[in-house]
Structure formats: C-alpha cells, structure tokens
C-alpha cells in the first residue's frame, strides 16, 4: 500500500531558484492496482514518481509504503527499500549501452547486499518474462527502442519488487511497440504487481484501472 499525504516538494530550497513543484499532493494506491498518472508537462509527474521510488526526498507531508514512513531515512535505508520493494523504469531506459542485455539485468542483483548464487538464472527468467531471453547476449546499443524498453523492464523486475514505477515507458515508441510494452505491464499486473505508469497518452492511461491527474503540483483527480 502506497500513501502520500500532503506531499510538498521544494527544489533548491532557500536559494534564489527555489521552486515548489508539489504543493500538498495526496493519493493512495492499493497493492496490485494498475494506475496511470497524467498531467501537462511540468505538472510534477516525474517529481511524484521519483518520491515514490525513494530516489528523491520531499519537504512536507508524509509518504508511507507498506506502513513504513519514508522520511528522514539514511541513504542506506532508502536503498534497502528500493531494492526490496520498488522497480523503476526510466523514460530514457538508463541502460548501459555497451553492456549486453543480460549484463544490464544482472546489475541490480550485483548491487544487492546478499549476492544470490543463481543470479544468471534470475536475470534470464526476467528477460524471458519480457520476451527478450533470445537476445540476452546482444549489446544494448544494437537493440531497437522497444527491445531496450523490455530490457529496462526486466532490470526493474529482476529483484521481484512489489511495485513497478514507469516514467513515460511508451513515450519514445511507435504505437504498435507501445502496445506491446503495455501488454508486458498488464502481464506484470496480472501477476499481482502494483503498477504506476506516467504517460501523456490517454490511450495508454485508459488501459489502466485508474487515472490520477496532476495539475500544477496537486493531485486533482
């Protein structure tokens, strides 16, 4: 369960370029829900997603994930929450281009505190679940946009997180490939994962169970 209560995000607090990007955003997302986050450019969608992913802090309000208050935690504790609970798919894939697909998917397993012996099998299983097992050894720079997005999803899910967050995962893809990627998210959802997808595309948003709208740093719907 994800609960955001009156979240305030202030970039560059106390400086001349101080900017309040979220002015008290509140929302709840239940376990296993599939939701879309929509809103105009600059509304605060990525900011909200980064807070949910525990990769950014916030200045007011409270964020709880599974009853755990994410506030004032050390970087180590935040990393632990990220590793255990959250998979993040970045808009620009954020893959290592000159690594192979499987090497990219192995990265989160290599970072994990407890190194699992069967890391390669886990990475292959994640690649298989997104239909990329046959291309495991291909260098990322040789993959298409849709294939890269699949590898990015495999990397996000290899640690079996309960929540998968994706920032415009279909933004750079043609409509057929975008639909294939949506089908991958739907499959993850059918396996019980909580899915949060930021999108500009109403066709994508409408395939989710619920749409959350952000306007000017507030949740409006």
- Identity of the residue, 51 or 130, whose beta carbon is nearer to ligand ATP in the bound complex: 51
* Phi, psi angles (nearest 5°) of residue 97: -65, -35
- Identity of the residue, 37 or 126, whose beta carbon is nearer to Mg ion in the bound complex: 37
Cβ at position 44, least distance to ligand ATP in Å = 4
One of 2, 21, 156, 212 touching ligand ATP (CB under 6 A): 21
What residues contact residue 94 under an 8 Å CB cut-off, 6+ apart? 152
Question: What is the contact surface with Mg ion in residues (CB under 5 A)?
Answer: 46
41-49, 79-87, 113-121, 174-182 -> range binding ligand ATP (CB under 6 A): 41-49
Residue 9's DSSP bridge partners are 22
45-53, 121-129, 184-192, 202-210 -> range binding ligand ATP (CB under 6 A): 45-53
Cβ at position 63, least distance to ligand ATP in Å = 15
Helix or strand run (H / E) with residue 9: strand 2-11
Give which of 165, 154, 107 is closest to 146, Cα–Cα. Answer: 154
Residue 28 sits at the vertex; the CA angle it makes with 25 and 30, to the nearest 5 degrees, is 160
* Phi, psi angles (nearest 5°) of residue 29: -130, 120
43-51, 81-89, 122-130, 134-142 -> range binding ligand ATP (CB under 6 A): 43-51
Interatomic CA distance for residues 29 and 21, integer angstroms: 21
Indicate which of ligand ATP, Mg ion, none lies near residue 44 (CB less than 5 to 8 Å, by partner kind): ligand ATP
Residue 163's DSSP bridge partners are 86, 194
Site for ligand ATP, rule CB under 6 A:
11-12, 19, 21, 39, 41-47
């Amino acid at each position: 369960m994800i609960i955001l209560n009156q979240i305030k995000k202030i970039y560059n607090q106390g400086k001349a370029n101080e900017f309040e990007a979220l002015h008290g955003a509140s929302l709840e997302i239940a376990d296993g829900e599939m939701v879309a986050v929509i809103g105009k450019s600059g509304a605060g969608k990525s900011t909200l997603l980064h807070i949910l992913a525990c990769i950014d802090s916030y200045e007011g309000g409270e964020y709880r994930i599974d009853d755990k208050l994410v506030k004032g935690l050390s970087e180590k504790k935040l990393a632990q929450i990220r590793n255990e609970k959250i998979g993040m798919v970045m808009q620009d894939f954020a893959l290592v281009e000159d690594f192979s697909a499987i090497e990219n998917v192995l990265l989160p397993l290599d970072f994990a505190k407890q190194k699992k012996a069967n890391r390669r099998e886990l990475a292959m299983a994640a690649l298989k679940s997104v239909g990329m097992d046959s291309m495991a050894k291909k260098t990322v720079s040789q993959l298409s946009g849709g294939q890269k997005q699949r590898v990015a999803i495999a990397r996000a899910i290899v640690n079996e997180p309960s929540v998968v967050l994706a920032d415009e995962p279909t933004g750079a893809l043609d409509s057929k490939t975008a639909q294939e990627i949506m089908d991958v998210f739907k499959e993850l959802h059918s396996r019980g994962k909580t899915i949060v997808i930021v999108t500009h595309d109403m066709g994508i948003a409408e395939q989710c169970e619920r749409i959350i709208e952000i306007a000017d740093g507030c949740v409006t719907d």
